[in-house]
Chains A and B, each alone.
Chain A
Amino acid sequence: MMIKKIALKEFKENLREGRFSVSTLIVSLLLLMGVWLSYNYLTSVQQQHAEAKENARNIWVSQDEKNPHSAAHYGTYAFKPKYPLSLIDPGVDKYSGISIFLEAHKRNESQYMAASDQTGLARFGDLTPDFIMLFMIPLLIILIGYNAFTREKEQGTLKLLKGQGISLWKLILGKWTGIFLPVLIITTILFVIASILFMNVKDFGELNYGVLALLFLVYLAYYAVFINITLIVSCTSKQSGISLVSLLAIWIVACLAMPKASSNLADTIYPYPSRQAFAAAIEKDKKAGLDGHNPWSQAAKDFERETLEKYGVDSLSQLPFNFDGYRMQKGEEHEAQVYFKHYAQLKKTHQQQTKIYQASAVVSPFLPTRFLSMALARTDYGSHWDFADAAENYRLKLQEALNMNFAENSSYGDWAYKADKTFWKDIPDFNYIPPSYGKILERNWSNFAALGLWLLVSFGGLKFLSQKV
C-alpha cells in the first residue's frame, strides 16, 4: 500500500515536470518512427527476397539440357530469409550480406551487405526500434530517476520522510515502481504495435509469441538493471548535478564505449584473417588433394588406382559408372573437407571473439541484452552462421546429386552427356529451416546468466544501501 502510494506520488511528480513529459514524448515518437521505418523497410526487402528466391529457382529449373557439371558451375543462389522479429531488432543483418552463391568446387561467402550500399554515415547507426530501446530508454530512465533521492535531499524532504518512520527500502521500492511504470507502458505499447503489425503480414513466417514475450522480458530486465543503478547513484550522490553526470558516465561506458572497446579487444586478441589470406590458405589445401578437373595430378592418379583395385577392373571404361563424374564427386568431397576445416577455424575465432564479448558483459549490462535481443530476433551472427552452414550442406547435396547423375548416366570420357530438362526440377529447392529456439537459448545461456547476474547484483546493491543509509 505504502509502496503504491510512493510510486503514485513519484509518477505524479514526474508528470508535472516538463522534462519527463517532453523526453517521454520524444522517445515514444522516435520509437514509433523507428517501427514505421523498420516495417516499411522489412516489407519491401521481404518482397524483394521472395521474388528473388522464386526467380532463382525458376532460372535453375528452366535450364536447358546440359551436362550436370555445367549446371553445377552455373549454380544457384540461397537467399537469407528475414524473420518477423527483425522488425524490432535488425541486429547485424546490415553487415552480413543477403545471399550466398552455390556453385561447384567453392564455398562462397554471403555477399552484398547493405552497409556497403550506404554512405559512411551508416556507421552512426539507424533509427530502428532496437536503437531506441537499447540506448534511448536507459537514458530516459536516467533522466527520470537521477534526482529521485538527490531532490529529496536538496529539498530536505528526505529527513522529513525518515522522521515519519518510513523504511528506506519501501521508499526505494516506491520510487523504483514510479520509474518503471512509464518505461513498462512504453515498452508494452511498442510490443503490442509490433505484434499487430506481424499479424497483418503474411510472408513473415510464423511468429512465436513465446519468443516475443521472452524478448519483452529481456528488455524489462535490462531496464530494471538501469533503474537499480540510477537509484543507487541517486541515493549515494550529494547533488542532483553530480548524480546526473555520474549516471551519464555509466551510460556512456556501458552502451557506447564498452561495445567498441570489446570489439577492438576481440579483434586484437583473436583477429580474423583477411579475405585474401583466407582464400589463399584454402587454395593451398585444395591443391594438396584431389581436383575433380585435374586427372593428371598425383592425387588423381592414386585415386584412379584405388578405384580400379576396388572394383577389380583394369581400365576406367570398365567401371559401371562414368569415372569422370565419380572423380568430380570425390574432388568435391575433398574440397568440402578443406572448406569445412577452414570454416571451422573461422568459426572458432568467431566463438573466441564471442567469449570476449560475453566477458565484457561484466562491465556492461548493455552487451548481454544486445546479444540476447539479436539472438531472439534471429538476426545475430550465430543465426547467420546457421544459415551459411545450411547453405553449404545444401550445396554439397546439390553437387552430389549432379555428379552422381553424371556418373551413373554416362560412360567414361563421355563429356557430351546432357541431363534431361526435367532433372533440374527433381533436385529439391533450398528451404532453410533455422534451428529451434531451444538451441538458440542454449547457445545464449551465458548472456542470460550475465543479465540475471546484473539484475541480482544491482537489486542486492539497492537492498544493501537501504539498510546502510
Chain B
Amino acid sequence: MLEAINLSKNYGGHEALIDLNLFIAPGEVFCLLGANGAGKTTTINLFMDFISPSFGHVKINNIDVAAQPAETKKYLAYIPENLMLYPNLTGLENLDYFCGLGGKSNTKEQLEELLSGSGLQKKFIHKRVSSYSKGMRQKVGIALAKAREAKALLLDEPTSGLDPQASNEFSELLQNMKERGVATLMATHDLFRAKDTGTHIGIMREGKLEHLVKANAVSLNELEELYLETMKLTQSVL
C-alpha cells in the first residue's frame, strides 16, 4: 500500500534522506525510530506530498504521489505530532468539515458514532475544540481516518506528550486500524509502543534506514540495544 523506491531528499546540499526503500502492506504497522533529524518526518512529508523528492518515487496504492497527488490523498489519513483543529468549531463540526474536504458526507449520528467509537467522551463531542486536550484531538484524528475509510495512515510521533493512559488508548485504536487492514507508517521515539503496536521496525540515522526488523522477531531489550548501538555511531561521528 505504502511504497518508497530509491527515495532521496536534499535540502541545499544537506542530505535529509538517502536511498530509502520500503514497502508496507495492508494491515502492517511500520514504526520508524531514530533521533531528531534522522529523516523520519522527511519520509512522512514525502508520502504526504508536502515536499517533492530529489530522487526516487513514492507510491501509494501503486500510484505515484508526485504525478497524482490529489488521487493518492484519497487513500491517506494523517495525524501529525500535534494534531490541530479549528478551535472555534466543535469536535463533530471539525470532523464533518474535514470529511467534506475528503468528499465524504455523513449524518450527524454517523459522526457521533465515529467520535465515540474513537474513544472521545460523549460530553465533549459538541464542545469547541479549544477545550480539548491533545489526546482528545488525536482521537478526532483517528475518527477522521476511520470516517474517510483511509487505506493508509501516516503518523508523526502521535504519542509524544500524551499521558500514559491516553497513549495506551491510542495504541488500542491503532490496533483497531490494523485489524481493519490499514497500512500504517508511524514515526516515533517510543521504543515500547513501537514494539507493542508495530509489525515492522526501522531504525534511521542521518537519513539512512540502518536496520529493519520484524517486531515479533526481537525482544524489547534487544530492540533498545540495537537502537542505542546505532545512535552511538552518530555520537562518535559528532
| A–B touching in complex (CB under 8 Å) | no
> CB within 8 Å of B: which residues of A?
none
